Structure 1
Amino acid sequence: MTATTAPTETSEQTASQPGPETRAERVRRRLVPAVAAVLSGVLLYLSFAPRELWWLAPFAFALCGFVLHGRRPRSGFRLGLLMGLGYFVPLLSWTGVDVGPLPWLALAVAEALFIGLAGLGIASVSRLPAWPLWASGVWLLSEAARARFPFEGFPWGKVAFGQPTGVFLPLAALGGTPLLGFAVVLSGFGLADVVRRLRAAPRARDRAVLTAAALTVAPVAAGAAAAPLVSTAAEHGTATVAVIQGNVPRMGLDFNAQRRAVLDHHVRETLRLAAEVKAGKAKQPDLVLWPENSSDIDPFTNSDAYAEIDKAAKAIGAPVSVGAVVAAKDGKPRNRQILWDPETGPGASYDKRHLQPFGEYMPYRSFFRIFSSDVDRAGVFEPGTKPVVFDMAGTEVGPVTCYEAAFDDVVRDQVNEGAQILSVPSNNATFERSQMTYQQLAIDRVRAVEHGRAVMVPVTSGVSAVIRPDGTVAQRTGMFTAESLVADVPKRSSKTPATKLGVWPEVFLAGLGVAGIGWVIARRRAGTGS
């Protein structure tokens, strides 16, 4: 009996085992997840400005979560890297304008490596109970890391910055960009878990599907619940603000080759607005905002530039915030905002604190010069050290210069310093007509909701805008035109929960990722007895 049964059992086991994998099947098994990973990155990119397809982001993470679930760490890194390339290569294409593809692709690859590490972590935690929660924390951990390292970080492309409108946006007022981004990612990963479990055996799906569905819907419900936190009420009256866009004589890196022309353009546009005010065609502004680099001629060492700016301030009859390049007492240049009074001239100043690496300064210049002499085109600017708020005719204005708007701490510092209105003076002429200016405008819109402040965006060449505290755009200019915007905006001093909580939401949410990874490590050690 035993002799006749054993061969039968062996035959049945052999018959139940799959046959050898064909080459086509092996290629398909590897290619399909790789293509899906790239597609998830492309979907995430498409959710960003200039498109307002914010709802694509959760689907991008649903596809990402479905691809990464149950993978080995090495495979998770590879697929995460592919997602990062699908995301950052198109998102950062504007960085290659006028300097070619090498810097653009190098930056995209560097940022994609962070997504690769996130993919490794997400794959590792994907077998934990309620894995979307831990996986979302891992994503936030990767965003927190790349916002700080290397060279003071590069936060551009945080998931939150693709949400200047939509159901998740009010969460920015509750927990800042970390909570906003976490909600989007969690909703996507939860959706991936729903789909995955619905494919499982019926007996295994009921409770698990409900849990996954709850993780999918909870961020959406939280966004709706947080909507009352978003207010546009004027708590201290309104201020009439003029935003000046003078335009530049040429696009690209050589926009400032005619530095005097750039200054003249902004003086001319301010004088034109002053004439309209005098003629009763425009309202008298309480304060005027010029963009970054509106005077690349130091008015403290050039009497002609001083006279032109002073003439414009006197003509408009209001204090002007002037973006200038000046030499400090140590002889090194500063990217400075100068408060210019029509009666007393220049007064308080704010120096840009987060400088753009490879643009305003060159880290490891001698090393990178080995690869290209273009490194010497980068500036030698020195950063500022503290927040400064301008008192402009009774309105407290907090300047946040261009690139700084991507950094949570800089914007928060200006609000905590007492800013009733935020100003983001920028110069996007270097990037011509690329999507960069629209991506930056989306960041400014998210910041408005995060801190409950109107945000003014004066840009040399566009797009300049007036943003309400709820993130909607009240007025905007075109690109490479000379225009002025005049608007009554609410002055606000109350602080949102996000402003009060500061960095703690990010610490907590990134901590979920650390906890999830720690749990995986502990389980593996327990399983091996080590």
Structure 2
Amino acid sequence: MPRGPATLFASCLATSILLAVAFPGDIGWWPLVFVALVPLFFVLRFCSVRAALLCGFTSGLLLYLMLLYWIFIVLARYGGLPWFVSAAGVFFLALYMSCYFAAFAVLTRYLFLSLPATLVLWLVPALWVGLDWCRGWLLSGFPWMDLGYTLYEMPLLIQVADIGGHHLVSYCIVIVNLWFFFLFSGKGCRRPAVLVPGLAFLLAVLCYSGLRYSQVREYLQDAAVSRVVVGIVQGNIEQDQKWSEANLQGTVDRYLRLSEQLFDESAPELVVWPETALPFYPQKGRFMAPIHAFTAAYKTHILTGAPWYSVNGAAVSYCNGAVSIGPGRLLEQPYCKTHLVPFGEYVPLDGFWGLLGPLVESIGNFTPGRIGEPLRNGQLRSGILICFESVFPDLARLWVDSGANILFNLTNDAWYGKSSAPYQSLAMAVFRAVETRRSLVRSANTGISAFVDPSGEIRSRSALFVAWRESAGLVLLEGRSLWVRFGYGFAPLCLLVSMAFVFWTFLNENSFGQEAACKRPD
């Protein structure tokens, strides 16, 4: 195999394109994820440390530029930033994300050259998952589009998420890539001692996933399981019109009209409106009379996103909230969004980022809330995930661990325009249902709204940028999955074990001699 710069770049480009096409979006051809890393592995087996670093950076940068291009829409169109500042924002975020890819490439090369394939098969996936986990919490965390999310439309393949979260699914995907890489590598990698254990593990995962899927689906059909009818309303309010004073009454009227249409077909106990569907402070009472009249007339409740303020002496704080509105009353304690979006809902190191002021001037500097008791409404104990919070598995886990028997994801994806971001956001929300074994209701202003059952099956979903309403009967499961009980255990363990082997081989170089998975470059 040629070893020049052209080969390195072609391999980086191939990995980036295969991954980008596999992730959710207009194409979203998920089977490619099982071979996408193979071109990268082939060049890592012979390249230098410097080349591995460059190859990792290049692959990561190209991939995340293709995955995160929609941030330009957020910054330029709705944030009011100059195009060159918006482009720089996308570039530097992609550059930061590519650092993890570069670290993976360098450390994988080292493992290839230091350890036998029988160990590499398990340690390289552990390294990938460990770095993903770090990306999920460092600098407030941005766990956007980990590998496992490519399979969100294949519930039969993702049931192991109730054990180790989406990270366990990512682990299996990297093993498949390594298995194919070893299959087409040298004789030392094609030995049964290498390929058979990997294949056996993957078959065991498939058997578990298929069995759990059947069990959950069968349980969902049990007449004794508690059920509730929930309605979703997708208002499709344009972002540049949403906060206009002249449009406030029209916004309320549209949501009420769509909500009334739900009752032509069913009688939902709860109607769910998206994040900031009420673009005003509900406690001021303005525009609230027709909403209270609706809940009284139909004997229902509305769960909606709305800004909220609290007064403590002379201090006033604001939050991005979710409130439950019943006949003639508004719950006093809303849920306030816990994990805020940096440079969207608050400005880190405020005062040092003058150019970013236009991005936040319309929504202010919000105060984070905390996860406590689920919002209660009849038999519902609701865990709320507002917008960006659905990408953080631990938030959904904390809600269920606190007693939630259903999850609601309220979001306003109008910020993203007609891009791949709404598909990506939906994909991550699907995994929250599987991990926690809870029904999930996703209400999005412009889409994609959806009902997801505890098996990860998307029962119904909306199109983008259309007004939409639908109701569905959902199961209310109790009990806690292994993921809910133990949370982040698998991913940190992966990081610990993989890095322990890296340090061990560094201190005991050449301990495996000719048994290393790949020969050292000449």
- TM-score (normalizing by structure 2): 0.87
Q: Quick check: 2:228–2:475 contact (8 Å CA) kept in 1? A: yes
In the alignment, does 2:122 pair up with 1:136?
A: no
The amino acid across from 1:325 in the alignment is P
| Deviation of the 1:426 alpha carbon | 0.3
Q: 1:213 to 1:57 in 2, by over 3 A?
A: farther
> Structure 2 residue aligned with 1:118, among 97, 104, 110?
104
| Deviation of the 1:267 alpha carbon | 4.4
| Deviation of the 1:354 alpha carbon | 0.7
In the alignment, does 2:418 pair up with 1:401?
A: no
In the alignment, does 2:190 pair up with 1:215?
A: no
Structure 1 SS opposite 2:107? helix
* Cross-structure match for 1:105: 91
| Deviation of the 1:66 alpha carbon | 2.1
The amino acid across from 1:87 in the alignment is L
| Deviation of the 1:388 alpha carbon | 3.8
Q: Quick check: 1:168–1:184 contact (8 Å CA) kept in 2? A: no
> Structure 1 residue aligned with 2:295, among 313, 322, 329?
313
In the alignment, does 2:458 pair up with 1:473?
A: yes
CA deviation vs aligned residue, 1:228-281 (integer Å, no higher than 9, x gap):
223143464210001111121x34xx343326636643543334433662xxx3
Alignment of 1:293-304 (within 5 A): 293-301=276-284, 303-304=285-286
* Cross-structure match for 2:33: 57
In 2, the alpha carbon distance for the partners of 1:514 and 1:308 equals 59
In 2, the alpha carbon distance for the partners of 1:223 and 1:266 equals 47
The amino acid across from 1:157 in the alignment is M
In the alignment, does 2:411 pair up with 1:435?
A: no
Gaps of 5+ in 2: 77-85, 513-522
Structure 2 SS opposite 1:32? helix
Q: Quick check: 1:41–1:86 contact (8 Å CA) kept in 2? A: yes
The amino acid across from 2:503 in the alignment is G
| Deviation of the 1:464 alpha carbon | 0.9
In 2, the alpha carbon distance for the partners of 1:101 and 1:438 equals 22
Alignment of 1:37-116 (within 5 A): 37-50=12-25, 51-98=27-74, 99=76, 100-116=86-102
CA deviation vs aligned residue, 1:180-211 (integer Å, no higher than 9, x gap):
111111211222122112xx4xxx466x3541
* Cross-structure match for 2:178: 189
Q: Quick check: 2:256–2:291 contact (8 Å CA) kept in 1? A: no
In 1, the alpha carbon distance for the partners of 2:179 and 2:507 equals 24
Give 1 or 2 for the bigger CA radius of gyration. Answer: 1
In 1, the alpha carbon distance for the partners of 2:229 and 2:492 equals 38
* Cross-structure match for 1:326: 308
In the alignment, does 2:448 pair up with 1:463?
A: yes
* Cross-structure match for 2:520: none
Gaps of 5+ in 1: 1-24
Q: Quick check: 1:293–1:323 contact (8 Å CA) kept in 2? A: yes
* Cross-structure match for 1:165: 153
> Structure 1 residue aligned with 2:243, among 249, 257, 261?
257
| Deviation of the 1:162 alpha carbon | 1.6
In 1, the alpha carbon distance for the partners of 2:93 and 2:491 equals 24
Structure 2 SS opposite 1:356? coil
| Deviation of the 1:435 alpha carbon | 1.1
Q: 1:260 to 1:192 in 2, by over 3 A?
A: farther
* Cross-structure match for 1:498: 483
In 2, the alpha carbon distance for the partners of 1:260 and 1:216 equals 62
| Deviation of the 1:164 alpha carbon | 0.5
In the alignment, does 2:511 pair up with 1:522?
A: no
After superposing the two structures, state which structure 1 stretch, 165-174 or 317-326, moved more: 165-174
In 2, the alpha carbon distance for the partners of 1:266 and 1:522 equals 66
Q: Quick check: 2:183–2:189 contact (8 Å CA) kept in 1? A: no
In 2, the alpha carbon distance for the partners of 1:180 and 1:259 equals 46
Q: 1:464 to 1:344 in 2, by over 3 A?
A: same
Structure 2 SS opposite 1:42? helix
Q: 1:435 to 1:205 in 2, by over 3 A?
A: closer
Q: Quick check: 1:273–1:282 contact (8 Å CA) kept in 2? A: no
* Cross-structure match for 1:418: 403
- Aligned positions, number: 487
Quote the sequence identity (%).
21
* Cross-structure match for 2:83: none
CA deviation vs aligned residue, 1:491-527 (integer Å, no higher than 9, x gap):
1112222222211112222223222222222223989
Q: 1:503 to 1:255 in 2, by over 3 A?
A: farther
> Structure 1 residue aligned with 2:342, among 357, 361, 368?
357
Structure 2 SS opposite 1:367? coil
In 1, the alpha carbon distance for the partners of 2:202 and 2:9 equals 28
CA deviation vs aligned residue, 1:14-37 (integer Å, no higher than 9, x gap):
xxxxxxxxxxx99x6122122212
Q: Quick check: 1:176–1:498 contact (8 Å CA) kept in 2? A: yes
Structure 1 SS opposite 2:368? coil
Q: 1:246 to 1:210 in 2, by over 3 A?
A: same
In 1, the alpha carbon distance for the partners of 2:63 and 2:261 equals 47
After superposing the two structures, state which structure 1 stretch, 267-276 or 30-39, moved more: 267-276
The amino acid across from 1:240 in the alignment is V
Structure 1 SS opposite 2:343? coil
Q: Quick check: 2:338–2:368 contact (8 Å CA) kept in 1? A: yes
In 1, the alpha carbon distance for the partners of 2:6 and 2:277 equals 51
In the alignment, does 2:217 pair up with 1:226?
A: no
| Deviation of the 1:403 alpha carbon | 0.5
In 2, the alpha carbon distance for the partners of 1:345 and 1:48 equals 41
In 2, the alpha carbon distance for the partners of 1:259 and 1:398 equals 31
CA deviation vs aligned residue, 1:320-372 (integer Å, no higher than 9, x gap):
11201112224121011112122433344211111111111111233232x55
The amino acid across from 1:304 in the alignment is R
The amino acid across from 2:176 in the alignment is S
Q: Quick check: 1:187–1:220 contact (8 Å CA) kept in 2? A: no
Q: Quick check: 1:191–1:212 contact (8 Å CA) kept in 2? A: no
The amino acid across from 1:212 in the alignment is L
In 1, the alpha carbon distance for the partners of 2:427 and 2:507 equals 41
Q: Quick check: 1:170–1:224 contact (8 Å CA) kept in 2? A: no
User: Relative contact order: is structure 1 or structure 2 higher (C-alpha 8 Å, sep ≥ 6)?
Assistant: 2
* Cross-structure match for 1:339: 324
Q: Quick check: 2:232–2:443 contact (8 Å CA) kept in 1? A: yes
* Cross-structure match for 1:8: none
In 1, the alpha carbon distance for the partners of 2:126 and 2:57 equals 18
After superposing the two structures, state which structure 1 stretch, 97-106 or 317-326, moved more: 97-106
Q: Quick check: 2:373–2:403 contact (8 Å CA) kept in 1? A: no
In 2, the alpha carbon distance for the partners of 1:247 and 1:43 equals 33
* Cross-structure match for 1:291: 274
After superposing the two structures, state which structure 1 stretch, 267-276 or 92-101, moved more: 267-276
After superposing the two structures, state which structure 1 stretch, 123-132 or 155-164, moved more: 123-132
